[in-house]
Structure formats: structure tokens, C-alpha cells
Structure 1
């Protein structure tokens, strides 16, 4: 990136529990969120919002152009899944990622979790 470059890259990532089992209780959700925060700090990625439901987690994050998204997602999925299983808290976590506009992402998150601000 040149010294006069400006960027704003945001992604909406959804990790789903294997077979969509409803196993993300409050303790597991809180542990999962803390693992995500710890892992993304190593990549220079900023979490904008993250929230869980019983069978998935939404993560809205901002990234630098230099981050290889596929490598980051693979590491995030692998480490969180391994740590949750190692601690005896849950099942394998699958993932899907989509590229959407921030307004669409916020609207999806707010609709899914009953938040009122859009």
C-alpha cells in the first residue's frame, strides 16, 4: 500500500456449530468471544461487533488489505474449535463468510438478535 492509500475493509463472519447444535450457552459464548478477541489481536484486525446465538456467532471486523483472509479465517476457526473442545466446552465449529455492506451487516445482526438501533 502506498503512503497515500486509504482503505476501509469490513467483513461479516459467521461461525456455525457443527450440525447446528444449540450448544452455545452463556459460558461457552463468553469463552468463544474472548478467544476471538485474543486471536484477532495477533493479526492487527479490529473487532467491530460480535454476538452469539445458541448455534452460531456473528463477527463484524475490520481488516488491513495485507491480511490474507482465508489464512486468518482458517486459523481463527481451527484455534477456537480446538480450544473449546480441549476445555470440554463444545463441538466442532464450521464457518461461512460473506462480503456485505456495513449497513446490510448491521441490519442482519440487529434483526437476528433483536437489537433496536440500525
Structure 2
């Protein structure tokens, strides 16, 4: 075959270190925009980025020449640097180590998009820790609940 064709959709989910509520309404759209631009700069395609004060969801089309781990290294590293350089939080900002990555078929994209778009409403009913654990359960990811989240020191 002379060309490479692909259709790989993933949702990545990652949290503020210690799940602190550091993403304020004042700077949230700026942070989400930076993350979306960073995804696009890797050659992947941002579909939607949204989240709450303590975590982010990104739905994207993955470029086959970049690994999810390389993508997340760029997105998390450069976005935290941007947040700190522009003093968008009261304290030094860091993302928690790790992330979740979940794949979807094209037929699921609309539903996932709506889910991510409605994060604020969703989290009035369910906290992030329970949401993330339900993702891991839904996708049959084996995990130790004691090791999923970094705890406050």
C-alpha cells in the first residue's frame, strides 16, 4: 500500500497533582486552549478539551507516528510550563504523574464529545476519583485503587 490511512480516536484524562482545585474559571479557557494547541502541534487533531478545576479530558484523533506517551509528555510538560510562566495559578502548578487513555470508534465520538463538553454538570453528581475509577472498570483495566491517585503529603 503506498499511503498510510488511519482513524484512531482517543480520550486522555489527566489530573492536577494531588487533585488540587487549581484550574480557576478565570484562566480555564486559556489553559484548555493551550492544551488543544499543543495537541495540534504534535500533528494530532484536537476534537475537544474540557475539564474542571482538578482534571482535564481531551478527545483527539491520534497521528499514527506519535505515541500516546510522547503526546502526553509534550502536552503535560509544555502546558504546566505555560501555566507557571504566566502565573495562572496561585501556587506552582504540576500535573499528577500518569494519565488514562481510552480508544473509541467513530460511532462513539458524538457521545464522548457531549460527555466532555458537559464536565461541569457531570461533576455535580460524581467526583473525579469515582469518574476515573469507573473508566478503568468500564475498560477492564486492572488497577489497585490505592495506587491510582497521588495523595496529599
Q: CA deviation at 1:69?
A: 2.1
State the number of aligned residues: 114
- CA–CA distance in structure 2, aligned partners of residues 71 and 55 of structure 1: 22
Contact 2:50 2:119 in 1 (8 A): no
Provide the TM-score with structure 1 as the length reference. 0.79
Q: CA deviation at 1:60?
A: 0.4
- CA–CA distance in structure 2, aligned partners of residues 70 and 79 of structure 1: 14
- CA–CA distance in structure 1, aligned partners of residues 7 and 32 of structure 2: 23
Aligned with 1:99 (options 99, 102, 111): 102
Any unmatched runs of 5+ in structure 1? none
RMSD: 2.5
- CA–CA distance in structure 1, aligned partners of residues 74 and 84 of structure 2: 15
Q: CA deviation at 1:21?
A: 0.8
- CA–CA distance in structure 1, aligned partners of residues 57 and 103 of structure 2: 13
- Name 1:75's counterpart in structure 2: 74
**Equivalent position SS for 2:103:** coil
- CA–CA distance in structure 2, aligned partners of residues 38 and 13 of structure 1: 15
Q: Which has the larger radius of gyration?
A: 2
CA separation of 1:87 and 1:19: change in aligned 2, threshold 3 A = same
Q: CA deviation at 1:35?
A: 1.1
- CA–CA distance in structure 2, aligned partners of residues 112 and 12 of structure 1: 14
Contact 2:27 2:88 in 1 (8 A): yes
Any unmatched runs of 5+ in structure 2? 123-153
